[in-house]
Amino acid sequence: MARYVPPHQSKIGQIIDVIVLLVLIVGALRLPLWFDLAGGAKTPAPFNATATWADLGQDTPEKIAAYKALGYDNPDNEALQAIITARYDYTINPVELAIMVIVVVGYFFLIIRFSGSEYKEVIAEKFGDKK
């Protein structure tokens, strides 16, 4: 196999590549945050101004004592109730699950396939074409 000679990349070309990478990185990691699409689907119950410890599920003296030691003296505290009552919603949406499976499996299929074709060139140039 003829030896591949890569083209020379100018300094400006290198800078553009770095900028493209930075945009992709910041976009992928920050866009879900900016559009409020990231994070757990965890929602607290509405605030109850007359809630008791028992209403909040704190049914043993040890649980109540621990919250008091943490500085939450009474159960009618909005921040405390947000912590205690927030729950994840684990209802499974089959369509969303299928999309996730397709995206993850498709991604690995794509990179292994493309890598395979690139790898053949590497081996052919390193060891010579197979007799």
Partner 1 sequence: MANVQQAAGTQVEKISLLRVLGPAHVWALGVGIVLVGEYMGWNFAVGKGGAYAALIACWFAGLLYTCVAMIDSEVTSTVAAAGGQYTQAKHIIGPLMAFNVGLYLVFAYTMLEAANAITLGYLVSQVAALSGYTGELNQTPFIVLTILFLAWLNYRGVLATLNFNLVITAVAFIAIIVLFLSTLTGTTQLHHAGLMAGSASLPYGAIGVVAAMHFGLWYYLGIEGTTQAAEEVRSPARALPFGTMAGIITLLIAATLTWYICTGILPWEFLGDGVNGSVAPLFDASRLSGSTFLMVLLGIGTMFSTMASANGCINDASRAWFAMGRDHYLPQWFGAVHPKFRTPFRSIIFLVPIAILFALGAPLDQVITFSILSGLLEYTFMPINVILFRRKWPLDTIKRGYVHPFHPVPAIVLLTLCAVTYFAVFLGYGTQLIAMVGFYIVVSLWFHFWRYRFVKRGDQFTMPWPRPRGY
Segment 61 to 90, residues that bind partner 1, using CB under 8 A: 61-63, 66-67, 69-70, 79, 82-84, 86-90
User: Per rule CB under 8 A, is residue 37 in the interface with partner 1?
Assistant: yes
Output the smallest distance, CB 27 to partner 1, in A: 7
Contact 125, 5 (CB under 8 A): no
Cβ distance to partner 1 smaller for residue 73 or 123: 123
Segment 90 to 119, residues that bind partner 1, using CB under 8 A: 90, 92, 96-97, 99-100, 103-104, 106-108, 110-112, 114-119
The radius of gyration of the chain's CA atoms, rounded to the nearest angstrom, is 28
* Binder of partner 1 out of 28, 46, 50, 94 (CB under 8 A): 28
Paired strand residues for 88: 42
Q: Which residue has the tokens 């299928």?
A: 98
- Residue 2's alpha-carbon distances to 7, 122, 126, 131, in angstroms, are 15, 11, 11, 15
Altogether, the residues listed in the chain come to a count of 131
Q: Which residue has the tokens 């009552």?
A: 85
Cβ distance to partner 1 smaller for residue 49 or 129: 129
* Binder of partner 1 out of 40, 46, 50, 94 (CB under 8 A): 40
